[in-house]
């Protein structure tokens, strides 16, 4: 686990091996960071090399916020999500 500072100033923890994922909305490489209040948040590295929340730059973000839950329990979550796209 390492600590990162996001573009907005928030500090999060991330393990680049374990938290690696791909956005179900836009297929970009994302990482599931853990915030200081133990919430999971998708982050992505922007063109300047800074880390930021993927909620800001994902073109599916609106959908994301309402419906997307981190896939923590395997196939079921993913299947439900994919049907809605
Ligand atoms: Zn996305």
Q: How far apart are CA 53 and CA 65, in angstroms?
A: 12
pLDDT tens digits, 20-65: 999 988 999 999 999 988 988 999 998 889 999 998 888 877 766 6
pTM of the entire predicted model: 0.69
Count of domains for the chain: 1
> Quick one: average pLDDT of 9-24?
93
Find the 3 Cα to ligand 1 centroid distance in Å. 22
pLDDT of residue 63: 66
Q: The tokens 């200081």 sit on which residue? A: 36
Adjacent-strand bridge partners of 46: none
Find the 22 Cα to ligand 1 centroid distance in Å. 8
Find the 65 Cα to ligand 1 centroid distance in Å. 11
Find the 72 Cα to ligand 1 centroid distance in Å. 17
Are the CB atoms for 13 and 33 separated by under 8 Å?
A: yes
Range of the domain at 79: 2-84
Residue 84 has pLDDT above 70, yes or no: no
């Amino acid at each position: 686990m390492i600590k990162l500072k996001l573009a907005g100033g928030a500090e999060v923890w991330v393990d680049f091996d374990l938290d690696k994922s791909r956005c179900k909305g836009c297929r970009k490489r994302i990482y599931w960071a853990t915030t200081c209040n133990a919430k999971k948040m998708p982050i992505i590295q922007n063109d300047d090399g800074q880390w930021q929340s993927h909620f800001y730059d994902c073109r599916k973000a609106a959908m994301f916020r309402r419906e997307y839950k981190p896939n923590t329990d395997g196939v079921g979550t993913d299947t439900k999500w994919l049907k809605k796209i």
